[in-house]
Amino acid sequence: MSNSRILNFVDGQFVEGAPGAFFENRNPCDNSVISLVSEADKATVDRAVDAARRALNGPWGKMAVAERAEILHKVADGITRRFEEFLEAECLDTGKPKSLARHIDIPRGAANFKIFADLVKNVATEAFQMPTPDGTGALNYSVRKPKGVIGVICPWNLPLLLMTWKVGPAMACGNAVIVKPSEETPTTATLLGEVMNEAGVPPGVYNVVHGFGPGSAGEFITTHKGVNAITFTGETRTGAAIIKASADQIRPVSLELGGKNPAIVFADCDLDKAIEGTTRSAFANCGQVCLGTERVYVERPIFDRFVARLKAAAEGLKVGVPADAASNMGPLISKEHQGKVLGYYQTAKDLGATVVTGGGRPAMDGALADGAWVEPTIWTGLGDDSAIMREEIFGPCCHVSPFDSEDEVIARANDTDYGLCASIWTESTSRAHRVAAQMETGLVWINSWFLRDLRTPFGGAKRSGIGREGGVHSLEFYTELSNICVKL
């Protein structure tokens, strides 16, 4: 068992939470214990909220925007300077390939601070001149103020990326944060505490409390009277619990939730690009991306060719440990999640799906045999109403169905409770725009997937979320806008 201990980060210091209460953080590659994590009790969360409030009433609240932005640039630079430490920690917690995290997770961790630090310095607010009966007129202008203490509750699939995607804009807008990382991935949020101190972030602005959801740190944050807003990324069911917990205090929530995302592949697509894109969207990060494609609709004339090529691409993926430079697929996050995904693999067989490839666990040697590995899997032959087509699986798998007309595929792609994103593959510009505009999703990619410009609105429709973050949309959530009316 590892002796490494992960502590909470409160008021600029690493502290133990509930005395002696530690939970295990396990390596998904072999199920060994990586570290013991100190669980925050209610008193620890109270201390974090008090520290956050003091920071808001003290140096952080009084700091000029330009100085705050400069400090956030130092945070980004600190992540970059300690890049290899963040990379090691993220890959140990998640099992994801270093080649992936090196290009996505860690650089985005830094970028999430820079983009919003620059944005807040340059966004104007509105002003209106208004006539009054006495002829002197009035002037209305608005000012943005920080919302206050923001609870940031995070998932495990892209831990640093998704946490900083909230913390970057929250801090840029002058708020203080209480972060609860997923219990599966506590390390990089904790390491970021060191970077915050090195960058000169005042104590209490960035706090990290560890633990679980109900009856633990998650619930202590969502029910805390001193928390002014909650931003959450995770499962739709948990999002519903968070809305309920916030209802009594009429507290704003921003929810980025699950998906059951379609890819639509027209016969006039560039097939090489569609295969490359769909291989990434279905299997990257072992299928554990909220934006991942689990439903692929392919126009009938190219259906057989597409399935054969996607099968070859899936079978070309190399499952392996993070440090293996040739590996492009790691394990799932945990044995528990492996059980859930393998359950769906069994359901697909029971429902009579054709298993084009995969459908089980890969053979792994030695200690890795106890890891949370699953095979990349492709099915055909199921109806749109099956559980495989309706429920988010969050594993490296997709179902491919043929379609015959544009109207048919639009209706089928939209026939879901979720509305996070869609990908459209076609070389026809007019068809691409026509179909994109009819997708009931917050995001549409044409001939690409997960291509991100952080100035754009990000979020889901239907059961995939509430609100948009990104660019100025993040400012909408993380600030309170006040109108000031001046009678002249």
| Closer residue to ligand NAD, CB minimum distance, 87 or 420 | 420
The answer to the question of residue 79 lying near ligand 6OD (CB under 6 A) is no
Closest CA to 201 of 321, 82, 106, 113: 113
* Partner touching 218 among ligand 6OD, ligand NAD, none, CB below 5 to 8 Å by kind: ligand NAD
* Partner touching 452 among ligand NAD, ligand 6OD, none, CB below 5 to 8 Å by kind: ligand 6OD
Q: Strand order of the sheet with strand 465-466?
A: 13-15, 8-10, 206-208, 176-180, 149-153, 229-233, 253-256, 465-466
Q: In this chain, which of 291, 298, 393, 400 binds ligand 6OD, going by CB under 6 A?
A: 291
Report whether 116 contacts 474 (CB < 8 A). Answer: yes
Catalytic residue among 88, 183, 256, 375: 256
**Residue labelled with tokens 């090196």:** 102
Pairing between β-strand 261-265 and β-strand 421-425 as defined by DSSP bridges: parallel
Amino acid, res. 277: G
* Partner touching 105 among ligand 6OD, ligand NAD, none, CB below 5 to 8 Å by kind: none
Extract the tokens encoding 128. 């209106």
Catalytic residue among 29, 91, 154, 290: 290
The answer to the question of residue 290 lying near ligand 6OD (CB under 6 A) is yes
Using the Cα atoms of residue 376, residue 380, residue 384 and residue 388 in order, give the sign of their dihedral.
negative
| Closer residue to ligand NAD, CB minimum distance, 141 or 212 | 212
Coarse DSSP helix, strand, coil percentages of the chain, rounded to the nearest 5 percent: 40, 20, 35
Q: Which listed range, 18-26, 286-294, 333-341, 392-400, lies at the site for ligand 6OD (CB under 6 A)?
A: 286-294
**Residue labelled with tokens 């009035």:** 138
Report whether 92 contacts 27 (CB < 8 A). Answer: yes
CB of 114 to ligand NAD, least distance (A): 20
Host H or E run for residue 236: helix 236-247
| Closer residue to ligand 6OD, CB minimum distance, 39 or 184 | 184
| Closer residue to ligand NAD, CB minimum distance, 341 or 432 | 341
The answer to the question of residue 111 lying near ligand 6OD (CB under 6 A) is no
The answer to the question of residue 158 lying near ligand 6OD (CB under 6 A) is yes
* Partner touching 188 among ligand NAD, ligand 6OD, none, CB below 5 to 8 Å by kind: none
How many residues in the chain?
488
Q: Which listed range, 154-162, 215-223, 308-316, 423-431, lies at the site for ligand 6OD (CB under 6 A)?
A: 154-162
CA angle 220, 233, 36 (to 5 degrees): 60
| Closer residue to ligand NAD, CB minimum distance, 238 or 479 | 238
Q: Classify burial at 86, counting beta carbons within 10 Å of its beta carbon; exposed 0-12, middle 13-18, buried 19 or more.
A: buried
How far is CA 368 from each of CA 224, 319, 374, 397, rounded to the nearest angstrom?
41, 11, 12, 21
Q: Site residues (CB under 6 A) for ligand NAD?
A: 153-157, 162, 180, 182-183, 212-214, 218-219, 222, 233-235, 238, 241-242, 256-259, 290, 392, 394, 420, 460, 464-465
Q: How far apart are the C-alpha atoms of 218 and 216, rounded to whole Å?
A: 6
Q: Classify burial at 63, counting beta carbons within 10 Å of its beta carbon; exposed 0-12, middle 13-18, buried 19 or more.
A: middle
* Partner touching 9 among ligand NAD, ligand 6OD, none, CB below 5 to 8 Å by kind: none
CB of 294 to ligand NAD, least distance (A): 10
DSSP one-letter string for 187-216 = HHHHHHHHHHHHHTPPTTSEEE----STTS
Using DSSP's 3-state secondary structure scheme, residue 451 falls into coil
Q: Alpha helix locations (H) across 58-104?
A: 59-62, 65-81, 83-94, 98-103
CB of 244 to ligand 6OD, least distance (A): 23
| Closer residue to ligand 6OD, CB minimum distance, 162 or 264 | 162
Tell me whether residue 256 is one of the annotated catalytic residues: yes
The answer to the question of residue 165 lying near ligand 6OD (CB under 6 A) is yes
Q: Which listed range, 79-87, 142-150, 170-178, 285-293, lies at the site for ligand 6OD (CB under 6 A)?
A: 285-293
The answer to the question of residue 452 lying near ligand 6OD (CB under 6 A) is yes
> Which residue numbers are catalytic?
256, 290
Instruction: List interacting residues with ligand 6OD (CB under 6 A).
Output: 157-158, 162, 165, 289-291, 452, 458
